[in-house]
Structure formats: structure tokens, C-alpha cells
Amino acid sequence: MAGRITFTIIKPGAVQNEHIGPILSKITDAGFHIAGIKMVQLSRNEARQFYCIHEEKSFFEELIEFMVSGPIVVAILEKHNAVEDFRKLIGNTDPQKADSGTIRNMFAKSVQANAVHGSDSDENARKESEYFFSGFEKFFVDEKNCVQGAMN
């Protein structure tokens, strides 16, 4: 069964180019509820921990340098079928291959500076959300529009 949450990062290039508002508008216009959001500056150690799955890849050091080059915006997004729907909304990692109207097509500069990160599975959405947010910092709305959070 598809999960109700996904996780995103608006990356340093998109933040520096003041694309936060337009990106968040596209996200909410697509029917996502923002369950948690904040701006942070990653340390090298934090970036290395978050992207450790790529540690053996040739682009790892360049990725870390990029991700610590400026502030990022992290958010937990909620919607039925969240991961799959968000992956469609953001488009291909390569902005040249991303469908017209997707976030990466509109705001990315390159494969690395591709504007946003989006979780690739329900399990990773949970792990990535928990990396950046405590239970107190996020909330979810159920079908009756009742807040469901860490205190429930």
C-alpha cells in the first residue's frame, strides 16, 4: 500500500535563486499538505550522514560540497500515494530529460543542482523525515482534518 508521506529538500541552488516560494506553490497546488518545514544549513558531517548511501560513488564529494554550500529547506509532505505522486511532480533527475512543467524542468540547473530531492520509497521517506524532524516538529491531518502528531 502506498504511503501518505514523502520527504523533500529544496537544495542550495534553488534556495539561493529564490525559488522556495514557487516550488512550494507547485507542491501545494498538486495537493500536498506540508506536515513539517524548516530551513537548515547542513554541516559536512550531517550531509555525509544523510547521503551515506552514495559514499562509494564518484560524485559523493561533489554532492557534499554542493549540499553544504548554502541553506536548504526540508519538508515532510503528506498526500495519498505521496512518494509516487511527488516523484512525478519533480521529474527526472536530469532537468534536460524532465517533463515540461515539472519542478526540475522549471527550476534545476544541472543533474547535481537539480533543485529538489524527493524520497524514492515509503521507507526512505520515513527515514529521511526522521533524520531532520523530531515528532514535535511535524503533524499530519487525517481524513477528518484532525491533527495527528507525536502527542497523540
> By residue range, what is the domain housing residue 47?
5-149
117 is annotated as an active-site residue: yes
pLDDT at 22: 98
Q: What is the CATH number of the domain that holds 73?
A: 3.30.70.141
* The C-alpha cell that represents 25 in the structure block: 506553490
Q: What is the pLDDT of residues 73-116, one digit of tens each?
A: 999 999 999 999 999 999 999 999 999 999 999 999 999 899 99
CA distance 19 to 42: 19
Q: Report the pLDDT averaged over residues 133-141.
A: 65
Q: Give the number of domains in the chain.
A: 1
CA distance 12 to 78: 23
Q: Counting beta carbons within 10 angstroms of the beta carbon of residue 45, is it exposed (0 to 12), middle (13 to 18) or buried (19 or more)? A: exposed
Read off the amino acid at residue 8.
Answer: T
- Catalytic residue selected from 19, 33, 54, 117: 117
